Amino acid sequence: MIKVEHLTKSYRGFTAVDDVSFIAQPGRVTGFLGPNGAGKSTTMRVMVGLTDPSSGSATILGRPFAELPNPGREVGVLLDASAQHAGRTGREILAIAQRTMGLPRSRVDEMLELVSLTERESERRVRNYSLGMRQRLGIAAALIGDPEVLILDEPANGLDPAGIRWMRDLLRGYANRGGTVLLSSHLLHEIEVIADDLVMIGNGRIVAEGTKAELLHAAGTVVRSGSSAELCQALRNAGLVVSASDDGALRTEASAEQVGQIALNSGIALTELRSSDNAGLEEMFLELTAETQREGAAA
């Protein structure tokens, strides 16, 4: 479990993280979302003791990170896959972690196999690794100590679609076995597919927080029909706020169940009815973080 309480980090005249509190529960994947520069990485660095907070605290498994006797055995950390000595081989980098934590040497090979880095690739210097390979190596280094908690900053960066799928399954399985996973991303789809809980941050502050189901439910419903205008009218008659998009889809904040019932009552056949998951999350993200968007415009 990771517990962040009233965490604030300010630099001269600039508050990077502003009174952030949340809990990442065991057995769940917590997605940490926010635009570039929202304070995700700073929060994560504070969690693992690389940055001192101005006020507030972060504890992992009930203790501040610095008090863990052998942190690698309890918390797997991947903050930046490129922060490695370019002159070391992948195997050497894992061996350093393995030795530091006091693990058997066989763990290095087990981890290389787990992240699908071949024998030959492991003997190459990291300078010659692609970003995807570095990311795999970083995940191997985070997992080598068999920790209970994983803290990963943008782990999907640079992975190909198969790699992203692989990582998703890996983290899902890890959480299902009781592990705590906190991963940050600005890739909405990625987070949406894997996360159970969401923490959304903008301008250093938490703008939304909850289970994915709760947050997406709030995002509303998308519905289509052969007779769009008729359906629109029926929904409006029922007192719902409806917006129509160019492609004929209608969007409303009501639940799918309610929309379906109205359509049935009005005798309108539907061609599509779903909660507006992906687009909803994206819309919510853009709306909630509007002030901090570099582009300045909300959706």
Partner 1 sequence: MSTLTQVPVATEAATSRPTYAPIPRRRIARVELIKMFDTRSGFWLMASIAIAALLATAATILFAPEDELTYETFATAIGFPIALILPIVGLLSISSEWSQRTGLTTFTLLPNRSRVINVKVMVSIGIGIASMFVALAIGALGNIVGTAIAGVDTSWNVSVQEFSLIVLANVLGMLIGSMLGLLIRNSAGAIVGYFVFNALLPTLFMTLANFKEGFRDIWPWVDFSYAQGALFNGDPSGEEWAHLAVTVSIWLLLPLLVGLYLVRRSEVK
Q: Assess 66 for contact with partner 1 (CB under 8 A).
A: yes
What does the block give as tokens for 93? 């980098």
Residue 168 binds partner 1 (CB under 8 A): no
> Strand pairing partners for 209?
199
Q: Whose Cβ is closer to partner 1: residue 80's or residue 291's?
A: 80
Is 56 among the residues that bind partner 1 (CB under 8 A)?
no
111 touches partner 1 (CB under 8 A): yes
Binding mask 172-211 for partner 1 (x = CB under 8 A): -xx--xxxx-------------------------------
| Residue number with CB closer to partner 1 (80 or 257) | 80
Q: Does 97 bind partner 1 (CB under 8 A)?
A: yes
H/E element, 7:
strand 2-11
Distance between CA 221 and CA 105 in Å, rounded?
A: 53
What is each CA distance from 99 to 70, 118, 144, in whole angstroms?
12, 21, 11
Instruction: Choose, by CB under 8 A, the member of 102, 128, 241, 243 that binds partner 1.
Output: 102
Stretch that binds partner 1, among 68-76, 199-207, 227-235, 287-295 (CB under 8 A): 68-76
DSSP letters spanning 35-76? -TTSSHHHHHHHHTTSS--SEEEEEETTB-GGG-SSHHHHEE
> Tokens 């923490």 map to which residue?
199
By CB under 8 A, which span of 60-68, 246-254, 264-272, 287-295 interacts with partner 1?
60-68
220 and 254 Cβ atoms separated by less than 8 Å: yes
Nearest to 29 by CA among 166, 192, 207: 192
Least gap, CB of 143 to partner 1 (angstroms): 7
Instruction: Tell me: does residue 146 bind partner 1 (CB under 8 A).
Output: yes
3-state secondary structure of 284: helix
- Contact positions vs partner 1 (CB under 8 A): 1, 26-27, 45, 48-52, 61, 65-66, 68-75, 77, 79-80, 82-88, 92-93, 95-97, 99-102, 110-111, 113-114, 125, 141, 143, 146, 148, 173-174, 177-180
